[in-house]
Amino acid sequence: MTVTIYDVAREANVSMATVSRVVNGNQNVKPATRKKVLEVIERLEYRPNAVARGLASKKTTTVGVIIPDISNNIYAEAARGIEDIATMYRYNIILANSDQNEDKELNLLDTMLGKQVDGIVMMSDAVTEKLHQSMDHSPVPIVLAGSVDETDKFPSVNIDYFQASLEAVQMLIANGHKRIAIVTGPLAYTINSKFKIEAYKKALSDANIVIDEKLIISDDDTYDSGLEAWESLSELEQPPTAFFAGSDELAIGLIHGAQDNGKKVPDEIEVISFENSKLARMVRPQLTSVVLPLYDIGAVAMRLLTKLMNKENIEDQSVIIPHRIEMRNSVK
Amino acid sequence: MTVTIYDVAREANVSMATVSRVVNGNQNVKPATRKKVLEVIERLEYRPNAVARGLASKKTTTVGVIIPDISNNIYAEAARGIEDIATMYRYNIILANSDQNEDKELNLLDTMLGKQVDGIVMMSDAVTEKLHQSMDHSPVPIVLAGSVDETDKFPSVNIDYFQASLEAVQMLIANGHKRIAIVTGPLAYTINSKFKIEAYKKALSDANIVIDEKLIISDDDTYDSGLEAWESLSELEQPPTAFFAGSDELAIGLIHGAQDNGKKVPDEIEVISFENSKLARMVRPQLTSVVLPLYDIGAVAMRLLTKLMNKENIEDQSVIIPHRIEMRNSVK
DNA sequence: ATGAAAGCGCTAACAG
DNA sequence: CTGTTAGCGCTTTCAT
């Protein structure tokens, strides 16, 4: 039924080894022979069986990608970066959603390794002990993208979340605010608890502003959470006049909450976001935001992985991509 | 180095056939034997090699997914639906972006078939002749998700785009508008040219409103295109008072364009969108929109594919999912 | 209930 | 430059 390398060999009057050579671009084939084989391949519509090839060569040219949720723009952006570079290096991608659930992450790792992927790119907002152990047992390289492993034992690609957050809050402080709130996603995510909030505290301390725990809110990373955060925060005796939002959706929720309350942004209320997705330009006022270069993070992570799979020497396993703040109109 | 089924067999004093049976849940194994084998598997940390299995069984339990662009929310949503159902049926997914480029689509089809996927879910806004032919040659089933094949020869999952569009425009007409514009994405996409615009024309004709080609704009599906469309349309001698937008971004661009011009939505200008992504709630006014259930389309397409791969009998290859219009505030 | 043996389609020495 | 020959790790008859 399906045509195999054997059929091609027979039709072309050569051995299967020769066919294999032309298919794999091996130079040790006489041009005339190559031509003949190529013709038969075309005529028979021969298509190499990658599974057989994988079994024989122990390489599948496919990498696994484990991300929390592809329908979330942040991860989709990274996935695109990963896929683009993968394609460039002729790898295919097995993509799966973990929903940030440890059991799923563990299972996915296992089934991907079972499928003999040549490497894995992993995004996880909380690299737990167990995950860490499983990753340690992997026979193929794994790189973390936009995910912090506190032990710093795995190759990873990130920006300096702490520094970026610090700069964001300092911008608000520089504009004269004393009552500054921070609204982030789940505390279970390392980036929120260890970096955004810690940086926020440091920025305030450095400016001798007393830290008011009531101004620190961590819930979801969503628009509705932003709306809710505004609700509760605006009811405080001394409500905040500026906000550091952990994501664009959060920032937009905060802004709409403020506007629905008759407050002007940025005249009365200033908001700085952390993400800079395309949403940032789709609100009025447009968001001033720390730019989190997800596409680049994904792309660089995949590139790092190709090197690792290729057993190239890596200078530094923890790469930090530069960040910057995109100035728009939610901050004066 | 890696432990194989053979190692397990030796350690458990059984044949590899028996190990294979317990791994595959075959009932013809004495409980005691099964237990013994399971123990060895655990102890040796044996993990079946899916590639070898795939070669021997001619099934890989992985399906290919070809979509235009994972970083575009619309497709990401569908991808999530596909993946969820795939996971439910124990399939993994090889995901790749085509950028709506025919050559890439053709290549992807080929490499996925080379990787011996058991089936393919394809999203393509323009099923060309060539694509059609390649799909026809596929040894495994292919289902189209949210994509129209005009010959209706391939299994597919869609909503009734024409009817949905008709209802949207009729809603605007019912509100008394005579100057109604339609702003869509590329005409090259079947859904835009054959359905949205045709439905728009029919709705107007039915209401005896003369069709003005100047009110029909097709460019990109983006926010900026929406902004630009407003620009040009508002400069007309008789500018439109209502808009049918082909996507949420387009709708938001139109609304912001109007608002920046001092027009009130929906008091002076009404806009109905076609998509209903989460963006729809993140603008003021919130978007009234035809709901395009991408997640469901992906999920149903994948479910259909499982049946096809299973050689089950399918009643109807072209499934149409019900649609509805979500009423919010961009239309009175 | 279990084992023996023949592939699945290809790569990779090794010869020549 | 080309052919021969082992496997790669597992499924799957066919016996027993």
B194 at interface of A, judged by CB pairs closer than 8 A: no
- DSSP label of A146: S
Task: List chain A residues with CB under 8 Å of B223.
Answer: 278, 281-282
Among all protein residues, pick the one whose CA is nearest to the C1' atom of C13: A17
What pLDDT band is residue B260 in, cutting at 50, 70 and 90?
A: very high
Rounded Cα distance, B173 and B168, in Å: 9
- Round to a whole number and report the distance in Å from the CA of A29 to the C1' of D1: 6
Rounded Cα distance, B169 and B197, in Å: 10
Query: How many Cβ pairs closer than 8 A exist between chain A and B?
Result: 132
| Cα B277 off chain centre by | 13
Rg, C-alpha atoms of chain A: 26
Rounded to 5°, the CA angle A25-A31-A34 comes to: 55
Among all protein residues, pick the one whose CA is nearest to the C1' atom of C5: B17
| d(CA A204, nearest CA chain B) in Å | 31
Q: Chain D positions under 7 Å from a protein CB?
A: 1-5, 7-13
Which nucleotide in the DNA or RNA is closest to residue B47, CA to C1'? Answer: D9
Cross-chain Cβ contact A49/B281 below 8 Å: no
pLDDT tens-digit map of B77-91:
999 999 999 999 999
Task: List chain B residues with CB under 8 Å of A48.
Answer: 114
Check residues 23 to 62 of chain A and report those whose beta carbon is under 7 Å from nucleic acid strand C.
Answer: 23-24, 46, 48-49, 52-53, 55-57
A62 at interface of B, judged by CB pairs closer than 8 A: yes
- Round to a whole number and report the distance in Å from the CA of A2 to the C1' of C16: 33
Task: List chain B residues with CB under 8 Å of A299.
Answer: none
Residue B208: how many CA atoms within 13 Å on its side-chain side?
Answer: 0
Indicate the average pLDDT of chain A: 96
Rounded Cα distance, A154 and A7, in Å: 46
A71 at interface of B, judged by CB pairs closer than 8 A: yes
Three-state SS for A33-84 is HHHHHHHHHHHHCCCCCHHHHHHHHCCCCEEEEEECCCCCHHHHHHHHHHHH
Cross-chain Cβ contact B94/A92 below 8 Å: yes
Q: How far apart are the first and last CA of chain A?
A: 70
Are B289 and A65 in contact by the 8 Å Cβ rule? The answer is no
10 Å Cβ neighbour count for A47? 16
Check residues 245 to 284 of chain A and report those whose beta carbon is under 7 Å from nucleic acid strand C.
Answer: none
- Which residues on neighbouring strands pair with residue A275, listed in sequence order? A291
Helix (H, G, I), strand (E, B) or coil at B178: coil
- Which residues on neighbouring strands pair with residue B116, listed in sequence order? none
Q: What is the mean pLDDT of residues B126-144?
A: 95
- Is the bond preceding A285 in cis, omega lying within 30 degrees of 0? yes
Are B244 and B202 in contact by the 8 Å Cβ rule? The answer is no
Q: What is the mean pLDDT of residues B92-104?
A: 97
Rounded Cα distance, B82 and B297, in Å: 8
A100 at interface of B, judged by CB pairs closer than 8 A: no
Cross-chain Cβ contact B73/A71 below 8 Å: yes
Cross-chain Cβ contact A94/B97 below 8 Å: no
Nearest-CA neighbor of B94 among B78, B105, B83? B83
B97 at interface of A, judged by CB pairs closer than 8 A: yes
Q: Residue B251's pLDDT is what?
A: 98
Residue B1 has pLDDT above 80, yes or no: no
pLDDT tens-digit map of B176-228:
999 999 999 999 999 999 999 999 999 999 999 999 999 999 999 999 999 99
Cross-chain Cβ contact B282/A223 below 8 Å: yes
Pairing type for strands A62-67 and A119-122 reads parallel
Q: Chain C positions under 7 Å from a protein CB?
A: 1-5, 7-13
Rounded Cα distance, A192 and A201, in Å: 12
Percent of chain B with pLDDT over 70: 100
Which residue positions in chain A have pLDDT lower than 50?
none
Which amino acid is present at B238? Q
Q: Which of B5, B282, B286 to mutate to test the interface with A (most CBs of A within 10 A)?
A: B282
Q: Which of A92, A223, A254 to mutate to test the interface with B (most CBs of B within 10 A)?
A: A92
Q: Which helix (H) or strand (E) holds B288?
A: strand B288-291
- Round to a whole number and report the distance in Å from the CA of B107 to the C1' of C14: 36
Domains of chain B: 5-48 (1.10.260.40), 62-159+294-323 (3.40.50.2300), 161-292 (3.40.50.2300)
Q: What is the mean pLDDT of residues B26-41?
A: 92
A31 at interface of B, judged by CB pairs closer than 8 A: no
A332 at interface of B, judged by CB pairs closer than 8 A: no
| d(CA A69, nearest CA chain B) in Å | 8
Q: Residue A315's pLDDT is what?
A: 87
Burial, A89: exposed, middle or buried (Cβ in 10 Å; 0-12, 13-18, 19+)? middle
- Is the bond preceding B266 in cis, omega lying within 30 degrees of 0? yes
Per-residue b or e along A112-131, where b marks 16 or more CB atoms closer than 10 Å to that residue's CB = bbebbbbbbbbbbbbbeeeb
